[in-house]
Amino acid sequence: MKLSKSEEQLMQYIWKSKKAFMNELLEMYPEPKPANTTVATLLKRMKDKGFIDYEQMGRSRQYYPVVKKSDYFSRHINGLIKKYFDDSPSTFASFFTSETNLTEKELQELKSIVEQEIKKKRS
């Protein structure tokens, strides 16, 4: 299941804080801040989708992520590769490295990361 753009923004704040009350989440938004009711609606939808849950503390709810950020973005990236790159990670890598204006240093860092992953797979 996917998050809308506004849900994803709020989810970023929840991942960052690990646990937060609604007023703490509202403080994280830049000006102009959304209405309390807007954030409450987003939180309810995100809970219904299974991305977050909450712990009731008196009359307040402390929200926390159920889905890890790395899991969400892994699914998102895999979906992009499937949809836009014919399910070919190498086509995606070729596009990414040639179309993003990476410096030689950044390309060397990527090469190092790939080499480390290859070593892990061989072990």
| Same domain assignment for residues 49 and 75 | no
Note the pTM of the prediction, 2 decimals.
0.77
59-88 pLDDT, tens digit each: 999 999 999 999 999 998 999 999 999 999
Our count of domains for the chain comes to 2
Do residue 97 and residue 114 come from a single domain? yes
Among 53, 35, 28, 33, CA closest to 43: 53
Boundaries of domain holding 50: 5-65
How distant, in Å, are the alpha carbons of 53, 76, 100 from that of 94? 39, 18, 10
